[in-house]
Structure 1
Amino acid sequence: MPLLIVLLIYSACAVQIAFRLPAFASPNEALHYEHLVLIRKTGRLPDLHSSTRADERHQPPLYYALAALFSWPFPDPPLDTELPPNPHFLATRIGNLNPIVPVTPSELPALYAARLASTALGLLGLVGMYIGARRILPDAYALLIVSLTAFQPMVLFLSGTVNNDLAATAFSALVVTWSVVLTLQDAPPRSFAAIGVLLGLAMLSKANTVFLLLLIPLSAFFLWMKTRRWRKPILAATWAVAGFAPLWGLWLAANALRGEDVFGVSRSVPIQAILAAPLTDLLLLPPHLEVIFRTFWFDWSIGGVGFAPDWLYTLSAAGVVAGFAGWLFYRRNATISTWTPALPVMHAIWAAALVGVYLLTRTLAIRPLGGVIPEGRLLLPIVPSLAWLTACGWLCWWSARRRQSVALLSALAPALLGVAFAFFWLPDHYPQAQRLTHSAVAALNRFEEPLLYGDAIALHGVESQPLYHGKIAEVTLYWEALRRVERNYTVSLQLLIPTSPSWTVSDQQHSYPGAGLSPTQRWRAGDWYADRYRLLPAADLNGPTRALLGVWLLEDVGENEAPLTVLRAGQIYDPPIASEVVIRPQAPLQPPAEHLLAEPVRFGDVAALIGVEWLPAASAQSEIAGVVLWWQALDAMATDYTIFVHATDANAALLAQNDGPPNFGLSPTRLWAPGDVIRDERLFAEPLASARNLLVGLYDPHSLTRLPAYVEGARLPGDAARFTAPGLP
């Protein structure tokens, strides 16, 4: 029953990934898909010399043939290059990890059938692994090994995608498990013929499984260790070779006939370059080991943007280290009668060989490129051996009385992580526009008048998280399809600060709706969608700043994009400003200490003038060009007060004035919140040479009533703060 539960959870997670992951969103999936499509179209191995890109046509054919068989009931699929690309791929802060315009299972069933072929191979490997492990280990031990393999995050991810790495991992699980089991059980030599067949199938899945051949001499050695006679080890090795040689031989012959190198590895493993590389180049690798480990353990995307939270990598590394360290106490594990060095050695040596060659290939790019191309998934065939070593070592830490319960609980933990990532992290990483129910639509806070884009789409509302400079905030648009939409429109969302003479674009995002996954061409009349975007305000701020959210829909016109006409209340609405928002600094501004007032001037109970900075004219230091006022909000204000700045001469005659809202109108007082600090620059029409004093205050523009001004509780004459220009009597 526990095994059935683990397999059901694995299947559910893999199927969720297969149908929720956008097409070609996993590494090289488009190239693997091309391989199986070419087999479908031609009925033979792909031509190696008709491609102009770095493809996967040279890969062994077993997985692709099986995937083509799974897809056979469906019509001939198009090549990936025949599908429309997503113009916003990898271009936004959220989603857009789909290289093509999204396809559904009904539109491209061959892709999803091929993904399910990976799931089926994964199940085959797990079941065979459990049956084998049960031959020498208690149930709970075997279950833990299976769980660690099934829910290793990259194994789980590739179980729902088109790739041959999962097939290689599944057959590796069978080979390493049964090689160890037959060796420890001193099985008849003929039994090793099955190991040979599994070896052949593994090497027909991916070339890097060739290192599994090391298990044949390792098995022979440990069989010899038992009897000190060579006859049985030699017979076992002979039967193993007889099992894989015909299968692998066909592949080698096919490569020779196609003009490929015989082993078919030159495109992915440049053997000559590896042999020529000095071993000292391995010393260049340590700075890159972290990213290699990340791509081996969890990299659920194209483009290196699908890494998990940091805690997962730390937890994974700690788990492996704890498991390996447990082997220091392996002799206390009396429950395993066949506990010998053969188990850890057979798993460790072949895996070490694959890791060593992998690391050598990574060094080849360091000198010319200055970095590595990690592709840690190439090491996935070692995951079953890693699971064996980690599980058995981990259980050595515990007393015999507790091992059964520890093994069961430990098997549950990876399964729960798999569910969390497949059903929660994955949808968040590849978000779609949320289709709204009637009740959700009824609860929306809508515009009084919607924005109508052409005659097909209406924008009914906008919601925004608080916006702060340098901090990502989510903005949600609420759309309605007025009729069936026939084209894919780009949403252009712009955060605009209305500066003069032209607006400042604080941030912008261009995407198909649903972060690229809910294109408008899928919308039907009456559909409502909540469409999320992430903005990062970037303009310099002088305090809480008024900004506008503009929302355009763009259509392709030749090589350019043109905005749809927008109507509001029957009138053309250009620019289509959907909402007014406020952008704040992440922390209150800090006035220069030398310009702070010894005693702030309070205006009513709502604001204080805390600093004054005189601006000398560029042409003559004796002239005053203006002043910078530093304000602090004490309380919220419902009124947009006007700030007055009056410059007078020695006789109190008015020379110039600058009345208006704070910060050139970008920081009206109604936006101020307690604690906000506002930098308010005031320039005069021309520099003043005879200005002596400055009078500053606030008034209500409607009633012209000034706010009362106080310094240390004493009310100031005229409710105006008076300042004398520096350097003057």
Structure 2
Amino acid sequence: MLITFAGLGLTYALETPCFESPDEWSHLSVIRYWIEHQTPPPRVLAPRDEPTAWDETWYFEYHDPPLYYAPPLYHGLAALLTSWIGMDDLPRLLLPSPSWERGWAPQSNSDPWNKNIYAHRAEETLAQSDTVRAAALLRTLSLGLAAVTVWCAYAMARLLWPDEGDHKGRPYVALGAAAFVAFNPQFIALSIGVTNDNLLNALFALSLVYMLRFMRDGANWPRWAALGGLVGLALLTKQSALLLLPMGLLAAIWQPKNGHRTSNVGHWAFLIAALGVGVWWYARNWVLYRDPLGLETHFTSQLSLTRFGLDEIVAILRSYWAAFGWAPLLVEPPAYAVAGLVMLAALVGVVAAIRPAVSPPWGGLREGARGLIFLSLAFALNAVSFARWAIATGVLSGRLMFATLPVVAVLVAWGLAQWSRWKIGRWALGAAAALALLFAAIVPLRYLRPAYGSPRLPAGMPGTAQAVDLTFQGNVQLAGYEAMNDLEPGEEINLTLYWRAPTAPQHRYRVWAQLGPQDAAQKVAEYDTWLGGTLYPSDLWQAGDTVRHTVNLAIPDWTPAPGLYWARVGLVDDDTGERVSLADGSSDMAVLGPWRARAASPPPAPACAADFRLGSAIRLAGYDLEMQENNLSVTLYWQAEQVPDADYTVYAHLLDEEGNLLGQHDGPPRDGAYPTSWWLPGDAVTDQHSIPCGASCQLAPLHLQVGMYD
């Protein structure tokens, strides 16, 4: 399981660029400060009570000293580990996404667009960047620390129920607890980030494991002092480790009484060691800033919540399992529903297990009652402190409760294990575990890559693209595009464009696109955003770059169809707001297409049914007639039986009884919007013609003659 977890972590790391893991940029900034100055950074207050777009951009830039302030252990160790690499290029790489300048903060939804906090240079590679190499090393450390947390979930369950297992001795509750942690996609995503959370989670979980062991077996005061030292290290990692102090004292009180003085001094040994190792940083904060916890920097840079209700709780629960990056990037609602059902089943199992009349098959209450109460109390303290933090800062990130994730894992695994008394329950549990692993495995490709994958194509434009080779002023070329399938009203389409930069662009451009018929003024959909997107805007491009840009166009339901539509594409200088002309000055756009738009539903039945065939390809299925002042309006209902071999012209002639021509209208079907050579078998084409006939329209009888000619 640990090997599988490590493999998953590697795939998440490969799909998550530097700085896109939550708070990674701030931790790297602090580590760089340690490397440069060999000392912790001072506290810096950055008020942002009512942030503007400029404030947001400034906040995410590099700062020396950094704006982030936290206990020193993680950053000091990370600096020691990476000092031989250095991070000289970090200030150059921290480029906030252009969306911040527009005030377009990333939104919490499943749309992968604008989920990145930073734009990313081409040189963000292991081969070219010291910062990337340092981050890769620290991400590997994070993954190892997260593996310790996974093991702790297993160890907690084994301590509670040492004799638990099936007929083959497999400890399913312990394995289930480990799997709950290891296959939690949010935990995996956190585990590959440069953050002090992973060190805290490992130290917190290890501390709880040894507290459980000492509660069960007892321990002499040196062991309690060693545990206090471990907790002291957690205190020097993150302030939330303060929750371990009351938990350690409670564990010391609850350890078995062995009649020796050791059992009475264990809590003192624990407390003195914990404070001796970890309290100095808090005392320093009091002396320097009158802020012992060092939290004022967070409170002044965040906006508190005005309410804490159901919506906020749902956001926290989602981010406890699957909400990636900063925004965060959400998954589909059914996935959350399935996770919720699993948690509900676990809750039912826990309720059933604590009933005296029920004898659980694995992991009963009697064996681990005190330990379960102890762990539940730890989770409750974590939840209450997090709720206070969320209200004060507005941060609704469930990952901040991962210090007690192994505790939740033990309770969930124990609750689910109660369903194993039935064969169908065992099958359901196996299926749930397999689905959890499968979902965790597809997250990088399904969610992370669309949101964070660079549009830069080192291998150039693929061979499947249709070449265009139009050069705009500024020496930016539209090299080609991918052909689309037929369009349909009401759908969203993606038009993939390939751009090339023979020389490095000197401006940041936006790409605009419009979808419309031959008359450009009749556009039905449009698009406008930065060329290269928010991940790789054009002012970061290097000479020779080929960049893929996907244009998203939402075709409204009212779009006339069937018909032909063209995509018109151009550039706008982001500084001046003016369109960029082609290099030859002939136009300011490229016209791509056309594409066929097919009707989403068949037309209404004609008032007058007919069955006239024009060769083998076209059939007239009916017509409508309507007098309009001095014109006769004729609506023809054509049906394509085969693909016509030419672009035909329709004629509609009005004749008197002797066959004399009274009026006529000749023209392509649908006024040329859908030439017959584009028709496909099954197409139903409604075609209107207006025949001017003056007073002749009042004569009777009249004859209508229609047909097509090449």
Fold shared per TM-score above 0.5: yes
Check 1:320–1:176 CA distance in 2 against 1; reply closer, same or farther (3 A cut): farther
**TM-aligned CA distance change 1:348 to 1:233, over 3 Å:** farther
Within-5 A mapping of 1:506-521: 506-508=525-527, 510-513=529-532, 516=535
- Which residue of the partner structure matches residue 675 of structure 2? 668
Q: Is the 8 A contact 2:143 2:192 kept in 1?
A: yes
C-alpha deviation, 1:313, in angstroms: 2.0
The answer on 1:463 being equivalent to 2:475 is: no
Aligned-residue offset at 1:383:
1.1
**C-alpha separation in 2, matches of 1:522 and 1:27:** 26
Find 1:48's aligned residue among 29, 34, 43. 43
Structure 2 SS opposite 1:474: strand
CA shift digits 1:157-193 (9 cap, x unpaired)? 0111233333332222222222222212223343233
Q: 1-side partners of 2:705 and 2:391: how far apart?
A: 68
Matching residue within 178, 182, 186 for 1:150: 182
Q: Does 1:303 align with 2:343?
A: no
Match of 2:19 among 12, 24, 36: 24
SS across alignment from 1:476 = strand
Letter of the structure 2 residue corresponding to residue 547 of structure 1: Y
The 3-state SS of whatever aligns with 1:398 is helix
Gapped runs of 5+ residues in structure 2?
50-58, 60-66, 101-105, 165-169
Label 1:460 to 1:413 Cα distance change in 2 as closer, same or farther (>3 A): closer
In the alignment, the residues of structure 2 paired with residue 323 and residue 81 of structure 1 have an alpha-carbon distance, to the nearest angstrom, of 49
Q: 1:222 maps to what in 2?
A: 254
**Which residue number in structure 2 is paired with residue 315 of structure 1?**
338
1:724 counterpart residue number: none
Structure 2 Cα separation of the partners of residues 406 and 171 of structure 1: 34
Q: Which amino acid aligns with 1:292?
A: I
**Separation in 2, partners of 1:151, 1:99:** 26
Answer whether contact 1:643 1:661 (CA < 8 A) is retained.
yes
Residue matched to 2:464? 444
Alignment check: 8 A CA contact 2:527 2:551 kept: no
C-alpha distance in 1 between matches for 2:613 and 2:508: 51
User: Taking structure 1 as reference, are residues 196 and 115 closer, same or farther at Cα in structure 2, changes over 3 Å only?
Assistant: same
Partner of 2:594: 580
Q: Secondary structure at the match of 2:535?
A: coil
Deviates more, 1:32-41 or 1:516-525: 516-525
Displacement of 1:385 after TM fit? 0.8
Q: How much has 1:299 moved relative to structure 2?
A: 0.9
340, 347, 355: which one aligns with 2:383: 355
Whether contact under 8 Å (1:453, 1:566) holds in the other structure is yes
Query: Which shows bigger deviation, 375-384 or 398-407?
Result: 398-407
Is 2:222 the counterpart of 1:198? no
Q: Which runs of 5+ in 1 are unaligned?
A: 1-5, 366-371, 617-621, 703-729
Following the alignment from structure 2 to structure 1, what is the Cα–Cα distance between the partners of residues 95 and 139? 21
How many Å apart are 1:347 and its aligned residue? 1.6
Question: Cα distance, 1:404 vs. partner?
Answer: 12
Cα distance change on mapping 1:323 and 1:690 into 2, 3 Å: same
Deviation sequence 1:243-296 (CA, Å, 0-9, x none): 3213442222232234253223355579xx99x99xxx76xx234433332122
1:212 aligned residue: 244
Q: Secondary structure at the match of 2:327?
A: coil
Offset of residue 152 of structure 1 = 1.5
- C-alpha distance in 2, partners of 1:679/1:450? 37
What does 1:542-557 align with in structure 2 at a 5 Å threshold?
Answer: 542-552=560-570
What is the CA–CA distance in structure 2 between the aligned matches of 1:374 and 1:77, rounded to whole Å?
33
Look up the equivalent residue of 2:367 and give its one-letter code: W
Summarize the Cα distance change of 1:696–1:402 in structure 2 as closer, same or farther, 3 Å threshold.
closer
Aligned with 2:117 (options 95, 99, 108): 99
1:507-541 per-position Cα deviation (integer Å, ceiling 9, x unaligned): 3253444883596966675x877665443323732
CA distance in 2, matches of 1:194, 1:627: 94
- The range that moved more, 182-191 or 515-524, is 515-524
* CA–CA separation in structure 1 for the residues paired with 2:601 and 2:380: 55
Report Cα offsets for 1:76-121 as digits up to 9, x if no partner: 4456687444436869965553333324133333444443442243
The structure 2 residue matched to 1:122, chosen from 125, 128, 146, is 146
Equivalent position amino acid for 2:224 in 1: F
- For residues 517 and 334 of structure 2, the distance between their equivalents in structure 1, rounded to whole angstroms, comes to 42
Report if the CA contact (8 A) 2:119-2:534 is conserved: no
Paired amino acid for 2:444: A
The aligned counterpart of 1:383 is 405
Conserved in 1, the CA contact under 8 Å of 2:513 and 2:528? yes
CA distance in 2 between partners of 1:256 and 1:117 (Å): 32
Query: How far 1:23 moved relative to its partner?
Result: 3.1
> In the alignment, residue 583 of structure 1 is paired with which amino acid?
A
Measure how far apart 1:386 and its partner are. Answer: 0.8
Give, in angstroms, the shift of residue 344 of structure 1: 1.8
The question of 1:246 aligning with 2:276 is answered yes
User: Which residue of structure 2 lines up, in the alignment, with residue 183 of structure 1?
Assistant: 215
Alignment of 1:487-526 (within 5 A): 490=509, 492=511, 494-498=513-517, 500=519, 502=521, 504=523, 506-508=525-527, 510-513=529-532, 516=535
- TM-score, length-normalised on structure 2? 0.77
Residue 597 of structure 2 aligns to which amino acid in structure 1? I
How far did residue 48 of structure 1 move? 3.4
Q: Which residue in 1 is equivalent to 2:371?
A: 343
Corresponding residue for residue 86 of structure 2: 75
- For 2:293, the equivalent position in structure 1 comes to 263
Pick from 193, 199, 217 the counterpart of residue 167 of structure 1.
199
Q: How much does 1:40 deviate?
A: 3.8
**2:18 partner letter:** A
Match of 1:659 in 2: 666
Q: Distance in 1 between matches of 2:543 and 2:632?
A: 60
Aligned letter for 1:473?
I
CA distance in 1 between counterparts of 2:179 and 2:4 reads 10
- SS at structure 2 position matched to 1:502: helix
Q: What TM-score results when the alignment is normalised by the length of structure 1?
A: 0.75
Deviation at 1:335, TM superposition (A): 7.4
1:320-339 map, 5 Å? 320-327=343-350, 328-329=352-353, 331-332=359-360, 339=367
Query: Measured at CA, do residues 406 and 240 of structure 1 come closer, stay the same or move farther in structure 2, by a change above 3 Å?
Result: farther
Matched residue type, 1:309: E
